Amino acid sequence: MKWEENVRKVVPYIPGEQPRQAQIIKLNTNENPYPPAPGVQKCVAALKQDKMRLYPEFPEQTELAEALASYYQIDKDQLFIGVGSDDVLSLAFMTFFQSEKPVFFPDITYSFYDVWADLYKIPYETKALDEHFCIRPEDYRQPNGGVIFPNPNAPTGVLMDVGQVEEIIEANRDVVVIVDEAYIDFGGTSCLPLIRKYDNLLVVQTFSKSRSMAGMRIGYAMGNSKLIKYLNDVKYSVNSYTLNYTSLQLGVESVKDVAYYRETCEKIMKSRDRAEEELSKLGFTFPKPYGNFIFASHEKVPAKEIYERLKDNDIYVRFWDKERIRNYLRITIGTDEQMEALYRALREIVKA
Ligand SMILES: *Cc1c(COP(=O)(O)O)cnc(C)c1O
């Protein structure tokens, strides 16, 4: 059809499956297996129907913005809130990567980055991780149009220390460097304090993983107030009322309950220690995990086969049929009960 000539054609990101059956064990999208903070439930009951009639407040003027700014001890104008970090990151691509030079990111990383680059027609170049799946900071020293990487990286779970992150920022003072910290709360150290030192650093985090609120779609970016202003200008050119009333209200309750959130992360980290032991015993190898997931490969059984047989057992994990990682599975850390069911199934599958 003639009109198709003028259509924007993209290869979309493929999200993890969201099966509808209730019985499955879902370890495929790094959701948190525990409920959100107790205050969130109470807040649901207190939501005001009359407020739903109105457009929501602008995210940066809400109690949620105040709560986050106070939690991270930053100013409100150093904070941008969006509809999940995917929204924040996509806007950041649109806002900050306007150079003709290529944006740099790792060859194995969050598979949305190349999708956004293609969508916005941003040139990019991937930098190969080393054989241990580590980012090599020296690869990010050539001229470029911006840099983005997750820390810990996804789907590998490999963490860079703050010193190495700073090395990359230091070498790229003339472009914007985005650090996607979706999984930083599971044992890593955030590079957030560096936003005071580097006006070109944007740190992005989310409520989806450590705060058990993937369904509410809340993400945020922190950085120099000028970066935030540019981000807001683009945002207000696309959609002004972004976060809905419910998410704005419930988010506050989550930020307030620091103890609950720390406790949940600790629980997941403990189950992750246990998963490292169990999976090793079963013949899996993996880089040391720093997210709420393990990126594991089996010595004998191909990843695809394990993935399919787990699915037959109603256990969903993530598999990518992609160069360099097609023999790996990304397994989200679930509750101890879910993990036990996983080990039982794996014992059968990898049995010699
Ligand atoms: C999960 C994830 C995100 C997106 O999370 P939202 O649910 O959109 O906040 C961003 N980056 C990485 C690396 C992720 O794994």
CA of 197 to the centre of ligand 1 (A): 26
CA of 182 to the centre of ligand 1 (A): 6
Pick one of 3.30.470.10, 3.40.640.10, 3.30.930.10, 3.90.1150.10 as the CATH number of 17-36+259-350.
3.90.1150.10
Q: What is the average per-residue pLDDT within 130-159?
A: 98
pLDDT at 17: 83
Please name the residues in contact with 15: beta carbons below 8 A apart, sequence gap of 6 or more: 29
pLDDT at 20: 81
CATH for 38-256 is: 3.40.640.10
What distance in Å separates the CA atoms of residue 223 and residue 259, rounded to the nearest whole number?
Answer: 26
Using DSSP, state whether 73 is helix, strand or coil: coil
pLDDT at 146: 98
Mean pLDDT, the chain, as a whole number?
96
pLDDT in tens, 157-199: 999 999 999 999 999 999 999 999 999 999 999 999 999 999 9
CA of 60 to the centre of ligand 1 (A): 20
DSSP structure string for 226-282: HHHHHHHHHHHHH-S--S-HHHHHHHHHHHH-HHHHHHHHHHHHHHHHHHHHHHHHT
For the chain, how are helix, strand and coil distributed in percent, rounded to 5?
A: 45, 15, 45
Which of 151, 206, 211, 220 for mutating ligand 1's site (highest number of atoms within 8 Å of CB)?
206
All CATH 3.40.640.10 domain ranges of the chain, comma separated, are: 38-256
All CATH 3.90.1150.10 domain ranges of the chain, comma separated, are: 17-36+259-350
Which of 13, 28, 68, 85 for mutating ligand 1's site (highest number of atoms within 8 Å of CB)?
85
What distance in Å separates the CA atoms of residue 81 and residue 205, rounded to the nearest whole number?
Answer: 10
Q: What is the average per-residue pLDDT within 245-262?
A: 96
The two structure tokens encoding residue 282? 């079963």
pLDDT in tens, 76-101: 999 999 999 999 999 999 999 999 99
* Phi (first) and psi of residue 340, to 5 degrees: -60, -40
pLDDT in tens, 2-55: 999 999 999 999 888 888 877 899 999 999 999 999 999 999 999 999 999 999
The two structure tokens encoding residue 223? 């950085």
* Residue whose CA is at the smallest distance from ligand 1 atom 14: 182
pLDDT in tens, 295-304: 999 999 999 9
Q: Determine contact, residues 293/278, Cβ cutoff 8 Å.
A: no
pLDDT at 352: 61
